[in-house]
Structure 1
Amino acid sequence: MSYEQIKDLPPPEFKRLCGVHIATFKKMVEVLKPELVRSGKKGGQPKLSVEDHLLVALEYWREYRTYFHISKSWGIHESTVCRIVRKVENILIKSGAFRLPGKRELQAAYEWKVLVVDVTEIPIERPKKKQRRYYSGKKKRHTLKAQLVVDQATGKILCTAYGVGRIHDFRLWRNTRVRFHTSQLCLADKGYQGIAKLHPNSCIPSRKPRGKDLSTPERQHNRHLASLRIVGEHLNRRLKIFRILKEQYRNRRKRFGLRCNLIAGLINYELALFS
């Protein structure tokens, strides 16, 4: 299904099909055109338009079908699909139009904010080597972890970090040297026990004492904290609308961070666009 066939779809249906809004799609095409348009240049001309190049990449992220199945839908070779996806990813990430603010944003001395840190796990195929490094005792399978730091008020993703399934959430946060400004409040889940030693202005749920129940104030505290932290869970859900970050990840792991950062940048762009 080419761009000419779907360009007149209603915005909700276009969003359901491609995973991004029409305005975001047009911005991505604007970024890709200087690199993909070959009119007047030497060499062969591409069979697909710039819009169709982007649709192939979005179809791969959104549905995560194999290169073979996508190639049969578009009438091109599966190696061509692989080159298109990689080319679109490289151009978009290098453009800076969908770049995340990064760790420096956390250390900037700006007005007081509430930050949420959370980790989501993406299943992977069983590695041939060093299987124990990737085995998650929580998920009972081999996974990769993606850590998000989110602005609680706006839902904007500030930075990401990645690790293997075996590493503990708090150790991932500590090893990646993600640090907050002393004036910022950090909200986290029970996987971040000990974060107060590195960032005193932190808040985590109260743990149930062994053989006892939580008191009424502690239960109220946990419920209120969960209602504030839910923004992180919502962003994990939005990331996993793209099935490449939901289903078993089949690609090489060295490109996982690039794809996750790019999809997070698209989410940030749409949050700014429609806020």
Structure 2
Amino acid sequence: MIRKQKERYSGKKKRHTVKNAVIVTMACLVIFVSQTVSGKTHDKKMADTMYSFPVPCTLYQDTGYQGYEPEGVEIIQPVKKPKGKELSRQDKEYNKKVSAIRVRIEHAIGSAKVMRIVKDECRLRANNFVENIFSTCMALHNLRIKINPWNYHN
């Protein structure tokens, strides 16, 4: 048990955390939730090992996935600010356009986090309960979206 506890310790958050990666459509439906991993696992490592894209598509990703470029997929992500420098006006405009699309993903994740069990500490260890919380909440999000779709005007 102590090994598993150490494995999930995130020095950045100073807590024992877990996380999942999600893929969300433009209609805000979650089509993929990765398996739950320890909070210190890097996003790109999760992407490299847990999912792939079988058809040509466009992927809007955040800067945590810097360098992740699967074959046959067009990658669109914000431009990172150079260390010690500022972004150009064009880069800021580009980032604003990308953010207008990516906000849908953040809203979908936020929709799951409305359920406090996702963001609060959970001590239920039996039957892989912690591993199933996020995917269950994302399924509830999908149900909510199918009943009452969100409208974005872009």
TM range (shorter): 0.7 to 0.9
Q: Aligned AA for 2:17? A: T
Aligned CA RMSD, in angstroms, stands at: 2.0
14, 23, 37: which one pairs with 1:140? 14
2:66 is the alignment partner of 1:190: no
Aligned residue for 1:264?
138
Count, aligned residues? 147
2:73 is the alignment partner of 1:169: no
Give the Cα–Cα distance (whole angstroms) in 1 for the partners of residues 83 and 117 of structure 2: 40
2:6 is the alignment partner of 1:150: no
Q: Aligned AA for 1:157? A: V
Q: Aligned AA for 1:210? A: K
Shift of 1:215: 0.9
Shift of 1:193: 0.8
Aligned residue for 1:179?
52
Give the Cα–Cα distance (whole angstroms) in 1 for the partners of residues 69 and 13 of structure 2: 26
The 1:257–1:132 alpha-carbon spacing in structure 2 relative to 1, beyond 3 Å, is: closer
Which structure has the larger Rg over C-alpha atoms?
1
Q: Calculate the TM-score normalised by the size of structure 1.
A: 0.49
Q: Calculate the TM-score normalised by the size of structure 2.
A: 0.84
Give the Cα–Cα distance (whole angstroms) in 2 for the partners of residues 143 and 263 of structure 1: 17
Shift of 1:201: 0.9
Give the Cα–Cα distance (whole angstroms) in 1 for the partners of residues 148 and 73 of structure 2: 35
Shift of 1:156: 0.2
More helix by share: 1
CA contact (8 A) 2:57 2:73 kept: no
Identity %: 28
Aligned residue for 1:219?
92
Q: Aligned AA for 2:24? A: V
Shift of 1:211: 2.6
Task: Identify unmatched segments of 5+ residues in structure 2.
Answer: 150-154
89, 108, 114: which one pairs with 1:235? 108
CA contact (8 A) 1:190 1:204 kept: yes
Deviations 1:181-206 (A, max 9, x none): 44210011110011125564111211
Shift of 1:136: 2.2
Aligned residue for 2:152?
none
Q: Aligned AA for 1:129? A: R
Shift of 1:167: 0.7
The 1:145–1:227 alpha-carbon spacing in structure 2 relative to 1, beyond 3 Å, is: same
Shift of 1:142: 1.7
SS in 2 for 1:195: coil
Q: Aligned AA for 1:139? A: K
CA contact (8 A) 1:147 1:160 kept: yes
Shift of 1:214: 1.1
Shift of 1:237: 1.5
Q: Aligned AA for 1:168? A: H
CA contact (8 A) 1:182 1:201 kept: no
Give the Cα–Cα distance (whole angstroms) in 1 for the partners of residues 73 and 106 of structure 2: 24
Give the Cα–Cα distance (whole angstroms) in 1 for the partners of residues 99 and 12 of structure 2: 20
SS in 2 for 1:213: coil
Give the Cα–Cα distance (whole angstroms) in 2 for the partners of residues 247 and 257 of structure 1: 14
